[in-house]
């Protein structure tokens, strides 16, 4: 090992790193990701040389995976015979869910999604030749149940409900969707990539928020990401299935690795992010996550109050820790903030900008940001 050469390359990487905006410095206020907990990083490092795609080479890592999936099963009130697949994140999980729905009903081609669905469903439509049937939103920006029901027909492959939409953090009325889908015998997939790690804890805190999990008997599968509110490291998303026998529908023969069949999309995948997510789950537990979510929600309400005080309006009252601020020219405001070292996300569809009050968006971060935001909005002619 040539240490001098190595140091030079790492020094060079640091120069690039300095150009990045940073979660820990409180610069990124618009992302659904956050800095991993320190224990996540430590656990990640321990398992950097593993491959769960060849599981019998890494039986210890495989045990960690099973333990983490057990945590998710409990979190999502999944039945005994449920099973999960761990992958890279929400997009992969959503693809796998629709892949499964297609294998269960090969002749059906129409996927019913709310207008608020994540762009991963556009990818799915393009990859799988699935036709997206978009359902309008009700006044609360949730999927309109009556419209959704009307769209179901003999060609319906499945229905998507969202627990924590990407733009507004809205939770669809999953219990109603579940009833309809059960009655119509249609596959219901819930995209809780973001909400999955916050809604269960908000319920424990007494928030009145619709149930989205497997308690709803029509829910067939759920996407949930540990690298968002789970405070673990990218890449870590899971697809939970009500019935473990369904795994077989999305499995292929693997005649030259250590398992005879492999479910899911990706083949080679490291146990490092799995160990990280498991370590965080063990470290925080339900109590720790509940405390974390309580802080995020308190900071959300505090941010809303501060935004109100500077005279800006929201698209909707936040359901979870996602705040959408109406702006005449979001791109202009976002660009001006970028120059000052801050990143919030613009949202074209609502003429708005998004702040996600993740764990790294503390009261201190907000207190520092709001005056800069106020001045920027004044300069941009928003207020």
Residue 4 found at the interface with a second copy (CB under 8 A): no
**What number of chain residues touch a second copy (CB under 8 A)?**
99
Report the C-alpha gap between 104 and 98 in whole angstroms.
10
Residue 157 found at the interface with a second copy (CB under 8 A): no
Instruction: Tell me the pairing of strands 352-356 and 345-347.
Output: antiparallel
CA distance readout (Å), 159 to 171, 190, 239, 257 = 15, 9, 16, 35
> What is the nearest approach in angstroms of a second copy to the Cβ of residue 258?
7
DSSP conformational letter for 96: H
Nearer to a second copy, 208 or 268 (CB): 268
Residue 149 found at the interface with a second copy (CB under 8 A): no
Question: Following CA atoms 83, 181, 172, 220 in sequence, which dihedral angle do they give, to the nearest 10 degrees?
Answer: 0
Residue 46 found at the interface with a second copy (CB under 8 A): yes
Report the C-alpha gap between 352 and 138 in whole angstroms.
19
| DSSP letters spanning 23-80 | TTTT-B-S-S--PPPHHHHHHHHHTTT--TTSGGG-HHHHHHHHHHHHHHHHHTT--T
Binding to a second copy (CB under 8 A) within 85-104 occurs at 88-92, 95, 99, 102-103
Residue 234 found at the interface with a second copy (CB under 8 A): yes
Q: Pick the stretch among 153-161, 181-189, 198-206, 267-275 that binds a second copy (CB under 8 A).
A: 267-275
Nearer to a second copy, 235 or 318 (CB): 235
Binding to a second copy (CB under 8 A) within 112-141 occurs at 119-120, 122-123, 126-129
Report the C-alpha gap between 75 and 82 in whole angstroms.
13
Report the 10 Å Cβ neighbour count for 231.
27
Residue 341 found at the interface with a second copy (CB under 8 A): no
Nearer to a second copy, 128 or 304 (CB): 128
Residue 18 found at the interface with a second copy (CB under 8 A): yes
Residue 248 found at the interface with a second copy (CB under 8 A): no
CA angle 92–96–101, rounded 5-degree value:
150
Residue 51 found at the interface with a second copy (CB under 8 A): yes
> What is the nearest approach in angstroms of a second copy to the Cβ of residue 149?
27
Residue 61 found at the interface with a second copy (CB under 8 A): yes
Report the C-alpha gap between 33 and 10 in whole angstroms.
25
- Of 338, 340, 371, 383, the one binding a second copy (CB under 8 A) is 338
Binding to a second copy (CB under 8 A) within 307-326 occurs at none
Residue 64 found at the interface with a second copy (CB under 8 A): yes
Residue 383 found at the interface with a second copy (CB under 8 A): no
Residue 242 found at the interface with a second copy (CB under 8 A): no
Residue 11 found at the interface with a second copy (CB under 8 A): no
Q: What is the 3-state secondary structure (H, E, C) of 263-315?
A: ECCCCCCCCHHHHHHHHHHHHHHHHHHHHHHHHHHHHHHHHHHHHHHCCCCEC
Whether 297 contacts 205, CB under 8 Å:
yes
Nearer to a second copy, 100 or 199 (CB): 100
Nearer to a second copy, 99 or 141 (CB): 99
> What is the nearest approach in angstroms of a second copy to the Cβ of residue 185?
22
Report the C-alpha gap between 266 and 274 in whole angstroms.
14
């Amino acid at each position: 090992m040539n240490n001098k050469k190595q140091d030079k390359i790492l020094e060079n990487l640091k120069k690039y790193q300095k150009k990045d905006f940073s979660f820990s410095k409180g610069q990124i206020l618009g992302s659904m990701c956050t800095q991993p907990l320190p224990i996540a990083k430590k656990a990640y490092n321990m398992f950097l040389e593993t491959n769960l795609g060849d599981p019998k080479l890494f039986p210890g890592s495989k045990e960690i995976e099973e333990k983490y999936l057990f945590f998710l099963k409990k979190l999502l009130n999944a039945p005994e015979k449920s099973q999960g697949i761990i992958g890279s994140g929400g997009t992969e999980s959503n693809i796998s869910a629709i892949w499964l729905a297609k294998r269960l009903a090969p002749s059906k081609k129409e996927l019913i999604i709310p207008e608020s669905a994540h762009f991963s469903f556009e990818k799915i439509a393009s990859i799988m030749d699935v036709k997206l049937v978009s359902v309008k939103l009700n006044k609360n920006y949730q999927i309109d149940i009556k419209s959704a029901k009307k769209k179901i027909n003999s060609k319906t492959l499945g229905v998507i409900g969202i627990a924590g939409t990407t733009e507004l953090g809205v939770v669809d009325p999953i219990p109603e969707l579940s009833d309809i889908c059960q009655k119509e015998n249609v596959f219901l997939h819930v995209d809780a990539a973001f909400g999955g790690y916050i809604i269960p804890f908000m319920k424990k805190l007494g928030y009145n928020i619709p149930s989205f999990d497997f308690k709803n008997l029509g829910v067939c599968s759920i996407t949930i990401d540990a690298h968002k509110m789970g405070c673990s490291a990218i890449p870590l998303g899971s697809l939970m299935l009500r019935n473990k026998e369904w795994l077989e529908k999305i499995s292929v023969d693997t005649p030259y690795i250590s398992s005879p069949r492999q479910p899911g999309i990706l083949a080679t995948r490291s146990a490092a992010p799995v160990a990280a997510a498991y370590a965080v789950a063990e470290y925080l537990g339900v109590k720790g996550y509940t405390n974390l979510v309580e802080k995020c929600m308190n900071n959300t309400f505090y941010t809303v109050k501060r935004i109100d005080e500077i005279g800006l309006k929201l698209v909707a009252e936040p359901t979870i820790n996602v705040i959408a601020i109406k702006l005449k020219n979001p791109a202009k405001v976002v660009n001006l903030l970028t120059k000052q070292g801050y990143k919030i996300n613009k949202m074209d569809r609502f003429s708005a900008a998004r702040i996600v009050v993740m764990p790294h968006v503390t009261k201190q971060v907000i207190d520092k940001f709001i005056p800069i935001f106020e001045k920027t909005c004044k300069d941009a002619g928003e207020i």
